[in-house]
C-alpha cells in the first residue's frame, strides 16, 4: 500500500506538471541565423491608456492590420512571451525599442514614458531574458522630453540607462559595448554645445560606462533622410555608427510609381548611399509606408506603399547579400535591421496580422535561417490562451 501511495503521488505530480506546462505560452524554439544578427525596430504604443485611452481605435478601421493577438494589451508579460516566441522562431534575436522620457523631466531623476513594453512586459515575462534589446532614444518627439545637457546626461540619463538597461545580460552589445541609438544626433550635438563639446561629453560617457564594467559605449545615430549625407559632424562628435529607422517616400529616392521592383531597387540605393557615409552602418529592410491611421481622414496618396510577402522575401535575400559584401572592419556589417515590428499606425509592420498572417516573418526565416527545421506558427487560440484585449474592450462599453 505504501508503494502504491508513492506511485499515486508521483502520478499526481506528473499531472500537475503537465497542467502547468499547458498553462504557459509554449517555449520558443529559436532559429539560428549563423553569422547574421537580425533585429527589428519596435514602437511601444499599443497599451490602451498609454497615450489617450483609444490607441487601437485608429487602427480598427483598417481590419487587415489587426494583429493575430487581437487588440492586445502591450506590457502584459504573457503577450510579450508570444512576441518573443514569434521573433526568436523566425531568426530575430533583438529589438530596438523606442525609449522616451516624460515631458518636463529635464535635469532631474529620470522618469521614462511609454516604458511598459520593457518594464512591464519584457522584464517580467517568462522568456524575456532570451531576447536581446537596445534603446532608441526618441529625443525629437515633441510629446516627450528631448532636451539634455552635459550635466543632465552625465548625472541623470546615463546612470539611469546603465543601471536600468545596459547592465542587463540581454542588453545588446556591439564589439562588447552596450549600443545606444539616438534619433536626433544633431539635436544632441546642439544641446551639448557643438561638435567639440559633444566629443568631450561622449568621451566622458564612454569612460563612465567603462568604470561600470561595460567596456565603453557604441553610440549610433539615426538617418533616413536625403543623400548624399556625409554625416561628418556625427563622426567628429564621436558617434560609432549610423542606421536608418525606415525608408519611407521622403528619403527622396522612391519613384512616384511605387511598383515593387522600383521599391526594392530604391532600398538598395539607400543601402549603398549610407554605406558611403563617414560612419559604418547596418542594413535596414523596410516593408512599407501608409500612415493614414495617424493622419485623420487622409486619402491614400501616391507615396504609400507596401511590399507583398514574396517581394519582401526577395528584399531580405538582397539584404543578406549586401551584408555579405561588407568589409570585416564594419562592426555592423552582419547586422540586419527590420522595419518595423509594430508600426501599425504608420503602415510598416511585420507583426503577424490578419492580411498576411506570419508570411513576413516566414520570409525573414527563409532568408536568414535556411537550415532551420520545419515549425508550426501557433496563435494563442491554438493552445487555449487569450484573449489579451481587456483594456481595449473596456473602452468599447
pLDDT tens digit sequence for 218-266: 999 999 887 777 799 999 999 999 999 998 765 566 666 678 998 999 8
Closest-CA residue to 271 (of 188, 337, 345):
337
**What does each C-alpha distance from 345 to 66, 274, 361 come to in angstroms?**
11, 26, 19
pLDDT of residue 12: 36
Domain ranges for the chain, please list them: 33-395
pLDDT tens digit sequence for 199-218: 999 999 999 999 999 999 99
Closest-CA residue to 274 (of 312, 316, 225):
225
**What does each C-alpha distance from 36 to 97, 188, 224, 275 come to in angstroms?**
20, 31, 22, 18
* 38 sits in which H/E element: strand 37-42
Taking the C-alpha atoms of residue 287 and residue 13, their distance in angstroms, rounded to an integer, is: 48
pLDDT of residue 21: 40
Closest-CA residue to 60 (of 371, 387, 292):
292
* SS3 sequence of 58-112: HCCCCHHHCECCCCCCCCCHHHHHHHHHHHHCCCCCEEEEEEEECCCCCCCCCCE
pLDDT of residue 252: 60
Q: What CATH superfamily classification does 33-395 receive? A: Glycosidases (3.20.20.80)
pLDDT of residue 296: 73
Taking the C-alpha atoms of residue 54 and residue 311, their distance in angstroms, rounded to an integer, is: 33
Taking the C-alpha atoms of residue 185 and residue 137, their distance in angstroms, rounded to an integer, is: 10
Regions of the chain with pLDDT less than 50: 1-22
Amino acid at each position: 500500500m505504501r508503494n502504491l501511495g508513492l506511485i499515486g503521488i508521483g502520478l499526481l505530480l506528473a499531472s500537475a506538471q503537465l497542467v502547468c506546462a499547458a498553462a504557459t505560452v509554449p517555449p520558443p524554439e529559436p532559429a539560428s541565423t549563423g553569422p547574421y544578427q537580425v533585429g527589428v525596430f519596435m514602437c511601444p504604443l499599443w497599451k490602451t491608456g498609454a497615450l489617450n485611452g483609444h490607441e487601437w481605435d485608429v487602427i480598427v478601421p483598417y481590419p487587415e492590420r489587426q494583429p493575430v493577438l487581437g487588440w492586445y494589451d502591450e506590457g502584459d508579460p504573457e503577450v510579450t512571451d508570444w512576441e518573443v516566441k514569434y521573433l526568436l522562431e523566425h531568426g530575430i534575436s533583438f529589438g530596438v525599442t523606442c525609449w522616451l522620457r516624460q515631458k518636463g523631466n529635464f535635469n532631474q531623476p529620470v522618469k521614462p514614458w511609454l516604458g511598459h513594453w520593457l518594464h512591464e512586459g519584457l522584464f517580467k515575462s517568462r522568456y524575456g531574458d532570451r531576447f536581446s534589446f537596445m534603446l532608441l532614444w526618441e529625443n525629437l518627439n515633441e510629446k516627450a522630453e528631448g532636451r539634455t545637457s552635459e550635466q543632465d546626461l552625465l548625472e541623470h540619463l546615463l546612470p539611469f540607462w546603465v543601471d536600468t538597461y545596459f547592465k542587463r545580460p540581454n542588453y545588446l552589445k556591439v564589439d562588447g559595448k552596450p549600443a545606444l541609438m539616438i534619433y536626433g544626433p544633431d539635436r544632441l550635438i546642439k544641446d551639448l554645445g557643438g561638435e567639440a563639446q559633444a566629443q568631450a561629453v561622449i568621451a566622458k560617457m564612454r569612460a563612465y560606462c567603462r568604470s561600470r564594467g561595460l567596456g565603453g559605449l557604441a553610440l549610433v545615430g539615426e538617418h533616413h533622410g536625403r543623400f548624399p549625407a556625409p554625416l561628418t559632424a556625427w563622426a567628429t562628435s564621436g558617434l560609432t555608427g549610423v542606421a536608418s529607422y525606415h525608408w519611407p517616400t521622403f528619403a527622396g529616392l522612391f519613384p512616384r510609381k511605387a511598383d515593387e521592383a522600383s521599391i526594392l531597387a530604391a532600398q538598395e540605393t539607400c543601402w549603398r548611399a549610407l554605406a558611403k557615409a563617414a560612419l559604418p552602418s547596418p542594413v535596414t529592410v523596410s516593408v512599407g509606408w501608409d500612415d493614414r491611421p495617424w493622419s485623420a481622414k487622409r486619402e491614400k496618396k501616391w507615396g504609400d506603399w507596401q511590399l507583398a510577402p514574396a517581394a519582401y522575401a526577395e528584399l531580405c535575400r538582397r539584404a543578406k547579400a549586401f551584408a555579405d559584401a561588407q568589409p570585416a572592419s564594419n562592426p555592423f556589417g552582419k547586422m540586419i535591421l527590420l522595419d518595423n515590428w509594430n508600426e501599425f499606425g504608420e503602415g510598416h509592420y511585420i507583426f503577424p496580422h490578419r492580411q498576411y498572417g506570419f508570411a513576413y516573418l516566414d520570409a525573414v526565416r527563409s532568408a536568414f535561417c535556411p537550415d532551420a527545421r520545419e515549425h508550426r506558427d501557433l496563435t494563442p487560440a491554438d493552445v487555449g490562451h487569450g484573449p489579451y484585449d481587456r483594456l481595449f474592450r473596456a473602452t468599447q462599453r
